[in-house]
Amino acid sequence: ERGGYEHFMIKEIYEQPKAIRETMTGRLAKDDSGVIFDELNWTKEYVASIRKVAIVACGTAYHAGMVGKYLIEKLTRIPVEVDVASEFRYRSPLVDEHTLTVIISQSGETLDTLAGLKEAKKQGSRVLAVTNVVGSSIAREADHVIYTWAGPEIAVASTKAYTTQLIVMALLSVYMGGLKGTIPPETSKELCHGLKNLPAQAHELLEDVEAIKTFAEQYGFNEDVFFIGRSLDYAVALEGSLKLKEISYIHAEAYSAGELKHGTLALIIEGIPVIALATQLDVYEKMLSNIKEVKARDAVVIGIGFKGDTEIDKYVDHTIFIPATNKYLTPILSVIPLQLLAYYAAVTRGCDVDKPRNLAKSVTVE
């Protein structure tokens, strides 16, 4: 059932081009003019009435929510809050009938997330669930459901569920922005076009993993790793760090690069691996200065940049290049090398990749 792969996790990493393609199927207008969600069928008036979006999720799904916040705010100009479900449910959240609560959960069964959903409903909020499991508790309790069509995810570490959640976040932002009139038609077109290219680009990234394997073997025995990035790259850094921690047991921390100076830089010493994401061109120069800061402390820096970026190469020890895409879509590609890095580090260390210690696939207890 692992289809020739050594672990479910690597099989699921390789299933991502198909999973993201299927999650977009039927949801992009033929002429790339916008997004169609038959399952929502929202009106302009409804979207105009939304004053706030509250995203609630746990773990990897929460990281997808962080990307969602960025995209929804940029493309709809509606303020978005993101909470981990175990905090949201106990903090008397300020949601009401003008709030759209978006609940993200691969399994649709995570207890805290389900409780967050119920709390939002109790306060009068409309609830949209984004889940991978048809008929799951979260799908049943929500007012609307958008399914991610990732197929069953078996490995404890979430990979294809995350990238398909990102696809839904992008589709939802374009959909809502279209109805709200906050996205110029050319931007909408560009995004739809960019989305269509992603399966082939993800496939391309998965074709050449030798460099990543080598890094994992080289740095797999280091006990601390840092991930840094700005803007959307910061959200991806958090996910890369979680992947590495949970399956390879390497201590990893993700930092927004601009925060380094406020404490974490004290930990950057000679030989510490730092994974630096630099795909967000509006903060690119800032990111390069942060890379120089860690390099000045003799960290070993692995950069993630766009293919053709000759600048970053000058400051890092190794670069992993990702294909060029729209800036809002980069997380879907940049996370793939990080998933692979975590996977090969865990394999190098002889860890039980699909069933990491102390963790369960579906957390149905508090």
- The residues annotated with a catalytic role in the active site are 361
Q: How far is the CB of 103 from ligand F6R (least distance, A)?
A: 9
Distance from C-alpha of 97 to C-alpha of 141, rounded to nearest angstrom: 17
158 binds ligand F6R (CB under 6 A): yes
58 binds ligand F6R (CB under 6 A): yes
246 binds ligand F6R (CB under 6 A): yes
Instruction: Give the chain's length.
Output: 366
Nearer to ligand F6R, 54 or 179 (CB): 54
**Candidate segments 99-107, 141-149, 201-209, 224-232, binder of ligand F6R by CB under 6 A:** 99-107
Distance from C-alpha of 314 to C-alpha of 7, rounded to nearest angstrom: 36
Among 61, 192, 236, 294, binds ligand F6R (CB under 6 A): 61
Q: How far is the CB of 41 from ligand F6R (least distance, A)?
A: 25
Q: How far is the CB of 291 from ligand F6R (least distance, A)?
A: 27
Specify burial of residue 310 (Cβ count, 10 A radius: 0-12, 13-18, 19+): exposed
Find residue 35's DSSP bridge partners: 28
User: Which residues fall within 8 angstroms of residue 266, CB to CB, at 6 or more apart?
Assistant: none
59 binds ligand F6R (CB under 6 A): yes
363 binds ligand F6R (CB under 6 A): yes
Check if the beta carbon of residue 161 is closer than 8 Å to that of residue 153: yes
* DSSP states of 12-80: HHHTHHHHHHHHHTTTB-TTSS-B--TTT---HHHHHH--EEEEEE-HHHHHHHHHHHHHHHHHH---E
Nearer to ligand F6R, 101 or 280 (CB): 101
Nearer to ligand F6R, 105 or 173 (CB): 105
Nearer to ligand F6R, 119 or 246 (CB): 246
User: Which residues fall within 8 angstroms of residue 256, CB to CB, at 6 or more apart?
Assistant: 228, 229, 230, 234, 237
**Candidate segments 55-63, 211-219, 220-228, 331-339, binder of ligand F6R by CB under 6 A:** 55-63
Distance from C-alpha of 342 to C-alpha of 157, rounded to nearest angstrom: 10
Among 16, 23, 106, 125, binds ligand F6R (CB under 6 A): 106
Beta-strand relationship, 251-256 and 318-322: unpaired
Distance from C-alpha of 270 to C-alpha of 254, rounded to nearest angstrom: 18
Nearer to ligand F6R, 158 or 280 (CB): 158
Among 23, 99, 101, 110, binds ligand F6R (CB under 6 A): 110
# chain residues binding ligand F6R, by CB under 6 A: 15
Nearer to ligand F6R, 158 or 330 (CB): 158
Among 157, 209, 320, 347, binds ligand F6R (CB under 6 A): 157
**Candidate segments 66-74, 88-96, 100-108, 345-353, binder of ligand F6R by CB under 6 A:** 100-108
Nearer to ligand F6R, 107 or 279 (CB): 107
105 binds ligand F6R (CB under 6 A): yes
113 binds ligand F6R (CB under 6 A): yes
Q: Which residue is nearest to ligand F6R (CB)?
A: 59
Which letter does DSSP use for residue 147 in this model? E
Strand order across the beta sheet in which 80-84 lies: 80-84, 52-57, 99-105, 126-131, 144-147
Q: Treating both helix axes as pointing N-terminal to C-terminal, what angle do 232-248 and 330-348 enclose, rounded to 10 degrees?
A: 20
* Residue of 303, 61, 81 whose CA lies nearest to 160: 61
Among 16, 99, 101, 107, binds ligand F6R (CB under 6 A): 107
Q: How far is the CB of 355 from ligand F6R (least distance, A)?
A: 12
User: Tokens representing 78?
Assistant: 């509606």
Among 60, 99, 148, 339, binds ligand F6R (CB under 6 A): 60
Query: Which residues of this chain interact with ligand F6R, rule CB under 6 A?
Result: 58-61, 105-107, 110, 113, 157-158, 242, 246, 362-363
